[in-house]
Chain A
C-alpha cells in the first residue's frame, strides 16, 4: 500500500541544515499495525508527515497504492489525503468554536458531501467511539480522553484506509489513554492500516511491527513474528528514549 524509496528531507534550522530524513526506504502493507519510535529529532514526525502527504520529500519516491505522489499537484495531494488518510494528534487539534459533531463533520464538509449523508456518517462514527451522547458538546466541555476520541472519529469519518497517530496518548492519563488505544486497535482489526508514532514503550510494544528511528534513518525495523529477520541493531531503550 505504501512504498517509500530513498526519501530525503532537510530542514533549515537557523543557519545549519538539519537532515530530518536520510535515505529512508519503507514498505507498508494494507492492514498493518506499526509503531515508530525513537528519540526526539530522529525524524519520526517528519516520516509521519511524509507518509501523510503533508510534506514533500527533497528527493526519493513515494507510491501510495500505485500513485507516484511526488508528481501530484497540491490539489491532488490534498484530495488523496482527504479521502485516504486520517490524522490523530497529541494536541487533538479540535476547533474550539465547533461542537463535537461539527468537528467530526469538517472533513466531509470540505469534501462537499451533502448534509444528510454527513448526519448519518457522523452519528455512526460517534457511536463507534462511544460518544453519541456528547455530539453537541463543545471541546471545552469534554475530557481529554473524550477529546481524543472525537479526534479519532474525525479522522475516520471519511473511511480512510490509513490512520496516522502522532503520540495519541501523550496528553492523556493511563486510563483514558487505554480507551483511546482500544478504539484505534479495534479500527485496525477492522482492516485500517495504523501507524503510531510514540515515545511510550508500552504503546509501541503493542504494535505488530516496530520501527526505530535514529538521526533520520531507520535504525531497526522488525515484526513480532519475524523479529530476527529484519533486525538491524538493537539498543537499550533507556539510552535513546527521551521526552519532548
Chain B
C-alpha cells in the first residue's frame, strides 16, 4: 500500500495553490540560491577562460629570461655581494644555440622622447631585433619590420605603435619621415598593426628600435629581458634547465637569472582561478543552505498548523511512512521547482551578459548545474527530515482534537 506519485503531486499541488504566497517566497529563495551558484561559478570559470584565451592568443610558446634571481632564501643577508650580473646581447646569442629554441629576442627597454616637427611625446621604447616580431607575433600595418641587420648594427630606424603615429603625424604619412628620438634622428620604416593590449603591454603606445641603437641611446649594455620562442614539441622544463646551465657558465657559476615559462604562468593562473571558483561556489551554496533552513522552518510551522489534517490522514489509513513521504516530497518538489526557476534565470542572465560583454563570456563550468542541484536536493532532503519525523510522530487522537501533545 503506497501512494501513487501522481497523487502525491496532486496533493502537494493543491497544498501549494492554497498557500500561494508562502510557496512563491520559498521558490524564490531556492531559485536565488541555485542561480547564484551557477552565476558565481560562471564568473570564476569565465575569468579562467579569459586568461586561457589571452595566453593562447600568443599562439606560440614563450620563455622569458629576466636578470636577477626572483627567489627569496630567507637566510639573512647574502655572504658575498651578489649583485646580479647584467644580461647582455652576448648572453642572448649564446641562448640561441640551444636546440629547441626557434628565435631569441633580446629586449632593451627605456623611455625616450620622440618628436616630429613641433610635436613630441614621452614613450616606452623597446630595443630589439626582427626576432621580437616573430616571438610576439606582431606585424606592421604599413611599411616593414626591423631587418635581421638590426641584430648587430645600430641602424637609425624605428617602428611606431599606431597611437604614437597618430599623435605625431595625425592622418598624414609617417613612412620614410625622420623623427627625433632622444638626441638622435631616425627614419620611420614601419607602423605596427592595430592591436589591443597583450599581456599588459599596450603595443599601440610604443616605439621599437634596433637593439644596438637602444644600447647606445640608453648608454647601457644591460637587457631588460630575453624572450625565447621554443618549438611546440620541445620540453620547456628541459630548455629551462639548459638556459640556466648556459647562463651559469657565462656568469662565473652564478645562476643569477629567472626563467618564466608561459606554461607555468598559465598553470599558476589556472590553479588560482579554479580554487577561486570552488571557493565562490562554496559561498554561493550557503545561500542554498539558508533556503533549506527556511524550508525547514516553514515546514515545522506547517506541521503544527496542519496537526488536524495529519491526524485525519492517519485515521483514514495513512501510515507514518506515508506522512513522512508527503512532507519530504513537498520539500523536494519545492526544491525542484525552485531549481528549475533558478537555472532558467541564471542561463538567461548569462545570455544577456554574453550580448553585453562578448569579450568576457560567462561560462558555467560543467559541474555547476549538477553541483547546484545536488546541494539543493541535499538540503531539501536533510532539512525536511525533521519536520517530516515530527509530523509522522503525531498522535492522531490528540492531533484530531487540536491539542498539543
Residues of A in contact with B (beta carbons under 8 Å apart): 45-46, 49, 52, 54-55, 74-75, 78-79, 81-83, 86-87, 89, 91, 93, 95-98, 102, 106-107, 109-112, 114, 154-155, 158
Closest to B8 in A: A109
Q: Among the listed A91, A96, A102, A112, which residue makes an inter-chain contact with B1, where contact means beta carbons less than 8 Å apart?
A: A112
Contacts A45-B397, A54-B396, A93-B308 given; does A112 touch B315 at CB 8 Å: no
Instruction: Please list 28 pairs of residues, one from A and one from B, whose beta carbons are closer than 8 Å in the complex, sorted by A's number.
Output: A52-B315, A54-B314, A75-B320, A75-B321, A79-B1, A79-B317, A82-B1, A82-B316, A86-B316, A87-B316, A89-B400, A93-B308, A93-B312, A93-B315, A95-B309, A97-B17, A97-B18, A98-B14, A102-B14, A106-B313, A107-B316, A109-B10, A110-B316, A110-B317, A111-B1, A112-B4, A112-B7, A158-B317
B121 to A: closest C-beta gap in Å: 78
Q: What CA separation (Å) do A102 and B14 show in the bound complex?
A: 10
Q: Does B302 contact A (CB under 8 A)?
A: no
Closest to A111 in B: B1
Q: What residues of B have a CB within 8 angstroms of the CB of A110 in the complex?
A: 1, 3, 313, 316-318, 322
**Nearest CB of chain B from residue A231's CB, rounded to whole Å:** 30
Residue-wise, chain B 1-45 has the 8 Å CB interface mask toward A (1 for contact) of: 111100100110011011000000000000000000000000000
Kindly state the separation between the CA atoms of A46 and B396 in the bound complex, as whole angstroms: 12
> A49-B397, A78-B320 are known contacts. Are A112 and B3 too (CB-CB below 8 A)?
yes
13 more contacts with CB within 8 A, not counting A49-B396, A55-B397, are A54-B314, A54-B396, A55-B395, A78-B314, A91-B400, A96-B18, A97-B14, A102-B14, A109-B3, A110-B313, A110-B317, A112-B1, A154-B316
Known: A89-B400, A97-B18, A98-B14. A111 touches B317 (CB 8 A): yes
Tell yes or no: B56 within 8 A of A by CB: no
Q: Which B361-396 residues sit within 8 Å CB-CB of chain A?
A: 395-396
The one of B316, B319, B321, B400 in contact with A106, judged by C-beta atoms closer than 8 angstroms, is B316
Give the interface of B toward A (CB within 8 A): 1-4, 7, 10-11, 14-15, 17-18, 308-309, 311-322, 395-397, 400
CA distance A93 to B37 in the complex (A): 44
Residues of chain A lying within 8 A (CB to CB) of residue B319: 74-75, 78-79
Q: Are B4 and A109 in contact (CB under 8 A)?
A: yes
Q: B317 and A78: CB pair below 8 A?
A: yes
Q: Once the chains bind, are A109 and B11 in contact (CB under 8 Å)?
A: yes
Report how far A114 CA is from B6 CA in the complex, Å.
Answer: 10
Interfacial chain A residues near B320, Cβ < 8 Å: 74-75, 78
Question: Chain A's nearest CB lies how many Å from the CB of B190?
Answer: 80
Chain A residue at minimum C-beta to C-beta distance from B11: A109
5 nearest A-B pairs in the assembled complex, by CB-CB distance? A82-B317, A78-B319, A97-B18, A107-B316, A93-B312
Residues of A within 8 A of B322 (CB): 78, 110
Interface centre among B3, B4, B317 (most CB of A within 10 A): B317
Q: How far is the CA of A126 from the CA of B321 in the complex (A)?
A: 29
| Min CB–CB distance B329 → chain A (angstroms) | 13
Bound form: Cα–Cα A89–B311 in Å: 12
Instruction: Collect the chain B residues with CB atoms within 8 Å of residue A114's CB.
Output: 4
A46: min CB distance to chain B, Å:
8
Most buried by A among B2, B318, B321: B318
B14 pairs with A78, CB closer than 8 A: no
Closest Cβ–Cβ distance, residue A192 to chain B (whole Å) = 16
* Cα(A154)–Cα(B313), bound, Å: 11
Q: B317 and A107: CB pair below 8 A? A: yes
Which of B14, B17, B317, B321 is A81 in contact with, Cβ under 8 Å? Answer: B317
Specify which chain A residues have a CB less than 8 angstroms from the CB of B311 in the assembled complex: 93
Question: How many angstroms between the C-alpha atoms of A60 and B54 in the bound complex?
Answer: 82
Give the residue name and chain of the A residue nearest to B311 (CB): A93
Separation in Å of the B303 CB from the closest CB of chain A? 15
Of the candidates A83, A87, A95, which one forms a contact with B315 in the assembled complex, judged by CB atoms under 8 Å apart? A87
Chain B residues with CB under 8 A of A158: 317
Q: Which B residues touch A87, using CB under 8 A? A: 315-316
Closest CB in chain B relative to A96 CB, distance in Å: 8
Q: CA separation between A109 and B1, bound complex, in Å?
A: 10
Q: How far is the CB of A118 from chain B (nearest CB, A)?
A: 9
User: Are B7 and A109 in touch, CB under 8 angstroms?
Assistant: yes
Q: Which residues of B are found within 8 Å of A81, using beta-carbon distances?
A: 315-317
A52 neighbours in B (Cβ, 8 Å): 315
For A111, the chain B residues whose CB sits under 8 A away are: 1, 317
Min distance, Cβ B367 to any Cβ of chain A, angstroms = 38
Q: Once the chains are docked, how many angstroms separate the CA of A93 from the CA of B400?
A: 8
Bound complex: CA A89 to CA B313 (Å): 13
Find the B residue at minimum CB distance from A96.
B18
Bound complex: CA of A36 vs CA of B318, how far in Å?
26
Residues in B neighbouring A154, C-beta threshold 8 A: 316
Residues from chain A with Cβ under 8 Å of B15 in the complex: 97
A78 to B308, CA, bound (A): 17
